[in-house]
Structure 1
Amino acid sequence: MSPGAHPSGPGGRGELLATGATAIAVLAVSTSAPLIAFAAAPALAVAFWRNVLATGAVAPFVLARRRPELRLLARPGGRSQAGWSALAGVALAAHFGTWMPSAQLTSVATATALVATQPVWQGLIALAQGRRLPLVTWGGIGLAVLGAVLATGADVGFDAQAVLGDLLALAGAVFAACYTALGEQARQTISTTTYTTICYGVCAGVLLVVCLAGGIQLTGFPGSAWLAVLGLVVGAQLLGHSMFSYALHKIPATTVSVLILLEVPGAALIAWLWLGQVPRTAALPGLGLLLVGVAVVVLGGTRSRTSPPLPPEAGPPA
């Protein structure tokens, strides 16, 4: 709470509401990996339906309230923003296409921790864009990379499937960073709802092509799988991201980014209690070091304006 703010005053009440919204968001996104692991359906099919339903949830609002903006996007001056939104959708499809299968191949705790390295890759993208990174950020990157190596190395002695899941989770983090960087470009002039409609729609289209080309089953799943898809849409995709977006009006983005890391122990706890997945002891030191490194990267960004900001609908697209 800011100095001088009182819980009963507008500022204090707003900060309390934002804190509550963040707590709800963390809980919502923590259910993502356990639901993916639980779903008795191909991960890519789950990703497709997740984005189709999310698009269907926001598109009616855009068509009813954002028609002038849609007309502007169809003109030469607005096509670049529409293009960035579409590219972000392609990157989001790549993220879902790698991370969601990882949650079914390796443990929920490891998959969630590895995909949480997104800020590390975000910093490297900033470096590639010619922005300087502070020394503390490089230190955090080093810790996160070492932690990821240790965690993945622990899985080498477990089985090859777990290692493949680890690598897919890391790829998912890279694509999530690309999605965020592209979203930063798109969100310069376009509204959140219009951006997400285009992004989610393109993502669903790309995943549909991949599923059809790969012969992946898209229907005929048990009711539990459809409930898992619904849970992903309502929880991580809509409720989680929406609450993070609301909280950004009162809580600094860096603080929100660090709080998002609570998704890792949250997902691990849910997977333990619900799915009986006990985190592998050998992987715990690496996962802990990885989280410390990511936190250092995020907190180091407060001392420099060099890292690109997250789009307003911030948060890893878990």
Structure 2
Amino acid sequence: MAQHEAQPIINPYLAVLIGVFAVSFSALFVRLCGAPSMMIATYRLLFTFLLLAPLTFYEQFGGVRRMSRRQLWMAGLSGVFLAFHFVTWFISLKYTSVASSVVIVTIQPVFVVIGSWLFFGEKISRLAAIGGVLALLGSVVIGAGDFRVGREAFLGDLLALVAAVLVSGYLLIGRRLRGSVDLTGYTFTAYGMSALVLIVASMVARVPFHPYPWRDWVLMFALAAVCTVLGHTVFNWALRYIQASVVSVSILGEPIGAIVWAALFLHENPTVRQMIGGTLIFAGLYIFTRVAARQLE
């Protein structure tokens, strides 16, 4: 445990459950928001940065100042990955169903461990590899079904897969840094870079920053306050105190919650093929994360 972070004031396992509940609303909020996907992502990260910045100011940038130049660059790079993850995933939700998109994007633990093998030489056990293949097979089943529905649905699935790869870069760097970097320093740098990248990209693409109806503003703020601060930031905090495998397996609850909210509020019921593919993905990821995620700690 890092010397700059005190003992947890809340049970980390309870915090992870709160985080899973919070992030499960992401897909619903995005689908209900009428703003362009790029702008939804931009305001989500900008509002997140503004909500968490006071903590960094309060400690007089202590967490940031304790980071080395290399750690700052790495945290900034993770923010770039996160920015483009949100853009591709939000666009995906415009083309395909919530069930297909959230289940496919959940495959990210497979890419995290593949990245650890490629860049850090970490070994992957045979059982973990079997679980990873099973999860990828599930995404193929869903994609094949959506391809029959239409090209847009299939494109949405592909974008969700790209989003899974991108968020893996964010998580891989985060897990490497969180062992030696304070949470405030990491989130200030990563979220700040994400917001900056998306603001510049939106200006270049000439995506309007306003006007939007009040409901869109509420939804974009909710994505920041609920899904990111109470969700992703809680996961980053919990990684300091509990095993990454616990966090990874717990996150599998996100698509289940998202599918439930989509059925209740969007009247999107998963198809038989989606349920079969989702079952393969969940089974594979359960095997995979239980075996492989411990190698990242």
Counterpart for residue 259 of structure 2: 268
Any gaps of 5 or more consecutive residues in structure 2? 1-8
Provide closer, same or farther for how the CA distance between residues 86 and 245 of structure 1 changes in structure 2, counting only shifts above 3 A. closer
Whether 1:101 and 2:95 are equivalent positions in the alignment is no
Whether 1:135 and 2:126 are equivalent positions in the alignment is yes
Counterpart for residue 244 of structure 2: 253
Q: Which stretch of structure 1 is more off in the superposition, 286-295 or 19-28?
A: 19-28
Rounded to whole Å, the distance in 2 between the matches of 1:37 and 1:272 is 13
Counterpart for residue 137 of structure 2: 146
Rounded to whole Å, the distance in 1 between the matches of 2:201 and 2:79 is 14
For the residue of structure 1 that corresponds to 2:167, the secondary structure is: helix
Rounded to whole Å, the distance in 2 between the matches of 1:203 and 1:144 is 29
Moved over 6 A (4+): none
Cα deviation for residue 253 of structure 1 reads 2.9
Confirm or deny: 8 A CA contact 2:235 2:247 kept in the other structure. yes
Whether 1:301 and 2:295 are equivalent positions in the alignment is no
Confirm or deny: 8 A CA contact 2:134 2:281 kept in the other structure. yes
Whether 1:113 and 2:103 are equivalent positions in the alignment is yes
Confirm or deny: 8 A CA contact 1:84 1:185 kept in the other structure. no
Whether 1:22 and 2:26 are equivalent positions in the alignment is no
Whether 1:164 and 2:151 are equivalent positions in the alignment is no
Any gaps of 5 or more consecutive residues in structure 1? 1-13, 310-318
Provide closer, same or farther for how the CA distance between residues 83 and 248 of structure 1 changes in structure 2, counting only shifts above 3 A. closer
Rounded to whole Å, the distance in 2 between the matches of 1:53 and 1:209 is 16
Cα deviation for residue 224 of structure 1 reads 1.3
Cα deviation for residue 79 of structure 1 reads 1.0
Whether 1:44 and 2:38 are equivalent positions in the alignment is yes
Confirm or deny: 8 A CA contact 2:108 2:168 kept in the other structure. yes
Whether 1:89 and 2:84 are equivalent positions in the alignment is no
Note the alpha carbon deviations across 1:74-120, whole angstroms, 9 max, x for none: xxxx2111111111111111211211211222111111111100100
CA-based RMSD of the aligned residues comes to 2.0
Confirm or deny: 8 A CA contact 2:48 2:229 kept in the other structure. yes
Counterpart for residue 212 of structure 2: 221
For the residue of structure 1 that corresponds to 2:274, the secondary structure is: helix
Identity of aligned residues (%): 32
Whether 1:33 and 2:46 are equivalent positions in the alignment is no
Amino acid at match of 2:139: A
Q: Which stretch of structure 1 is more off in the superposition, 30-39 or 58-67?
A: 58-67
Rounded to whole Å, the distance in 1 between the matches of 2:219 and 2:284 is 32
Larger Rg: 1
Note the alpha carbon deviations across 1:175-224, whole angstroms, 9 max, x for none: 11111122234434321111111111111111112212222222111111
